[in-house]
Amino acid sequence: MSVRQGPPPARDGAAPARVEVALPVPVPRTFTYEIDAAHARPGVRVRVPFAGRRLVGWVTGPGREGGPPREIRAVERVLDAEPVFDAAMLRLCRWIANYYLAPLGVVLRAALPAVLSNARRTTSPVKTERLLRLVTELPTLTSRDEVFGRSHRQRECFETLESLNGSARVADLTGRYGFSMSVLRGLVKRGLAEFVERPVVRDPFADIEVPAPPDHVLTAAQRAAVERLTEAVHGTTGPETPAPHPFLLLGVTGSGKTRVYIELLREVVVRQGRGAIVLVPEIALTPQTVARFRAQFGDDVAVLHSALSDGERYDAWRALASGARRIAIGARSAVFAPLRDLGAIIVDEEHEASYKQGEAPRYHAREVAIMRTRMARAICVLGSATPALESWHNAQRGKFTLLELPERAMGRPLPPVRVVDLRRPARSKERTSRILSPPLAQAIGRTLERGEQTILLLNRRGYATFVQCRSCGEVFRCGECNVSLTWHRARRRLVCHYCFREEPTPVQCGSCASADLSFLGVGTEQVEREVADGFPHARVARMDVDTTSARWSHHEILDRVERREVDILLGTQMIAKGLDFPGVTLVGVVNADVAMNLPDFRATERTFQLLTQVAGRAGRGPAGGEVLIQTALPGHYAITAAISHDYGAFVERELAERRPARYPPHTRMTNAVLSGLDERAVQDAVTAAAAWTEETLRTETIPGVLLTGPAPCPIDRIRGRWRWHFLLRSERAGPLAAIGRLLQHRYTVTAGRAELRLVLDRDPVTLL
């Protein structure tokens, strides 16, 4: 791929052609432009005039014939000599645009590093470095004396270059080796050396230390899984074989799923020379994770991380596109990594909600991975200790092939889990506290005494989760969103977690002016304080959104935990995922019920997954471990199943709970959300939209779609916009896609009438 500026279009004598161009605008169609026929290649970026602006778009194919005659404008500039999307990628993006009801241009933009869709950027984002390279040899000492005479520094520089195999970075020669630029230029003037520019790959992960992990003997379950996968890999190289089904790797926490991924990569990348993608949730994309892959595959690994600068991201992308690196590891958008000969995609922690993008295109990276591997006839592996109900359901129906790792590696047991019932008043004479019950406090004390580490989870940040007036009961709410404000003690502010607006700490009630206010509900800041008070000598680190806003801060905290400079790590769900610290022998859940009562059909599943994941952080080392869960719902099946590490019991019950209500995975779902600034207008519009949809389902005879609602969204106002929704459900995807397209088309046509916005979210991961 090259980002050189292409030649100008429509030179004299060049044949003009018409092409379709996809643009990143919220209109679900492509636009026709004229272009020099020589450049009319699909996947090439072009800059075009559009509605008084200039946009970067992508040629998607030959121009449409027919249509109303209107002026066809010319492409201003062709930006690539080689397409940035190959045919397979264009096809995948078309599927996403269709399935998720998003404009193709919006999908294509999401699939590229940001620097490649910036219309104002005209310089090449490739970073180069200058080298000084020898161009002749001076074999004899006498010839050196003649050439250099008294220019000793030039001679030293020449000999330094020789010792460095003939070339070195100018920055190193002038820095580390201390030669001046005039010495370097002198060598060039004598015809002995030349300056050359070499593209560099900026890669902040390159410097992390890679402790080579021991190459353990595979467990029997790992071996069986690896054999199945290897067999499937060989199946894909035959000419006529269909793509194998995706594999669901169900492995308990600590069972060694990563090792299975590594063996698969060895087969695909090292033995077959093909490319592969490893997706991990953003917060699990730590240096520790990267190091596990770098230790095996070294410089073949390119990391795509949101904390990278645009330039670094682009470099990683380019290294993959050119084939210089063949393994992409990254979060959600890495599913678009430009690998040419794709052999496998691995989706680790496939149940993670962060794989779904919250804005258009609202794609789910797991679904895109499945589709991309199917099109490329490659292997797809979905790994989890707590698979999404959808994935489990697909395994039960034979759409996925189930591989299981039922035990931890090295024969280590899963940690025992105890429950502390928060409803029972503490009988103990010891200091009782609302936050840490006596059993949990004692367990922390014992762990500290043994010099071992504790993880404490509370999935709520801030200090007090709401502030209430004691006189009139009023709760402080955000002026723009219908949610209560959280008090952050460190910042001394009330903060809205939806729109991020802040207010000073209140001193009196907004409605009755009473100064008698209660700061209620416990967040991580308060746990931190409680822990600091109770265990003044413990070294405590808190990890949540508020402590990890700086670029690599989250990795710095984890590094300290790994070096055992932290005794107690506390935080939100960030600390529950993927961490493998053998020193952690105690996991405490401060309140397991935080998410349980959210008005969302996935609330129970989320709770079970989070508890199981965080419990899985304990007892990974030889010292073993235990887990304490504080809850007011000790009999709830999400809690009892988490206690016994029993995924099977949980899914069976949860599937049964969802069946009569016709919730996914028994059906497919689209959430239609209408929002606007005027409450009444939103309500009228959503009622009309739902009625129109019902009518259209009938007149177009689209079968088997159930419409529920309309009703206000559980959070009925965010950033000043009122929100109403209705649900569309069907056992099959086709009818949902059909009605979705019609609905979208109608609202694109009638848009502009008001500031109303319709969002169609297919397979939503949250209904809030």
Length reported for the chain: 768
The CA-based dihedral angle spanning residues 612, 257, 203, 554, taken in that order and rounded to the nearest 10 degrees: 20
What DSSP element (H or E) covers 650? helix 647-661
Report how far apart, in Å, the C-alpha atoms of 25 and of each of 42, 94, 112 are. Answer: 19, 15, 16
d(Cα 742, Cα 731) in Å, to the nearest integer? 19
Binding mask 524-563 for ligand ADP (x = CB under 6 A): ----------------------------------------
DSSP secondary-structure letter at 268? Answer: I
Report how far apart, in Å, the C-alpha atoms of 289 and of each of 219, 611, 750 are. Answer: 21, 21, 48
d(Cα 138, Cα 146) in Å, to the nearest integer? 10
Q: For Zn ion, which is the closer residue by CB, 125 or 521?
A: 521
Q: Shortest approach of ligand ADP to residue 574 CB, angstroms? A: 17
Q: Which of 580, 600, 657, 678 binds ligand ADP (CB under 6 A)?
A: 580
Say how many CA atoms lie within 13 Å of 308 toward its Cβ. 27
Q: Shortest approach of Zn ion to residue 683 CB, angstroms? A: 21
Q: Which of 245, 259, 274, 325 binds ligand ADP (CB under 6 A)?
A: 259
Q: Which does 474 bind (CB under 5 to 8 A by kind): Zn ion, ligand ADP, none?
A: Zn ion
Q: Which does 651 bind (CB under 5 to 8 A by kind): ligand ADP, Zn ion, none?
A: none
Q: Which does 410 bind (CB under 5 to 8 A by kind): Zn ion, ligand ADP, none?
A: ligand ADP
d(Cα 459, Cα 670) in Å, to the nearest integer? 28
Q: Shortest approach of ligand ADP to residue 616 CB, angstroms? A: 6
Tell whether residue 257 is a contact of ligand ADP (CB under 6 A). Answer: yes
Q: For ligand ADP, which is the closer residue by CB, 222 or 670?
A: 222
d(Cα 719, Cα 672) in Å, to the nearest integer? 18
Phi, psi of 440 (to 5 degrees): -70, -45
Q: Which two tokens stand for residue 230?
A: 């290897």
Q: Which two tokens stand for residue 157?
A: 């520089």
Q: Which does 256 bind (CB under 5 to 8 A by kind): Zn ion, ligand ADP, none?
A: ligand ADP
Q: Which does 188 bind (CB under 5 to 8 A by kind): Zn ion, ligand ADP, none?
A: none
d(Cα 706, Cα 699) in Å, to the nearest integer? 15
d(Cα 295, Cα 114) in Å, to the nearest integer? 29
Q: Are 623 and 452 in contact (CB under 8 A)?
A: yes
* Binding span for ligand ADP by CB under 6 A among 254-262, 309-317, 428-436, 527-535: 254-262
Binding mask 399-438 for ligand ADP (x = CB under 6 A): ----------xx----------------------------
DSSP secondary-structure letter at 271? Answer: I
Tell whether residue 368 is a contact of Zn ion (CB under 5 A). Answer: no
Q: Are 456 and 588 in contact (CB under 8 A)?
A: yes
Instruction: List the interface residues with ligand ADP, window 61-120 (CB under 6 A).
Output: none
**Which residues pair with residue 727 across a beta bridge?**
671, 708
Q: Which of 82, 81, 79 is nearest to 120 (CA)?
A: 79
Can you point out the beta strands (E) in 188-282?
A: 193-199, 247-251, 275-279
Q: Which does 481 bind (CB under 5 to 8 A by kind): Zn ion, ligand ADP, none?
A: Zn ion
Instruction: List the interface residues with Zn ion, window 468-497 (CB under 5 A).
Output: 469, 471-472, 474, 478, 480-481, 496
Q: Which of 6, 9, 244, 256 binds ligand ADP (CB under 6 A)?
A: 256
Q: Shortest approach of ligand ADP to residue 254 CB, angstroms? A: 4
Q: Which does 3 bind (CB under 5 to 8 A by kind): Zn ion, ligand ADP, none?
A: none
Instruction: List the interface residues with ligand ADP, window 350-409 (CB under 6 A).
Output: 409
Q: For Zn ion, which is the closer residue by CB, 615 or 713?
A: 713
Q: Which two tokens stand for residue 277?
A: 């993608």
Q: For ligand ADP, which is the closer residue by CB, 381 or 705?
A: 381
Instruction: List the interface residues with ligand ADP, window 196-225 (CB under 6 A).
Output: 213, 216-219, 222
Instruction: Point out which residues bind ligand ADP (CB under 6 A).
Output: 213, 216-219, 222, 251, 253-259, 409-410, 580
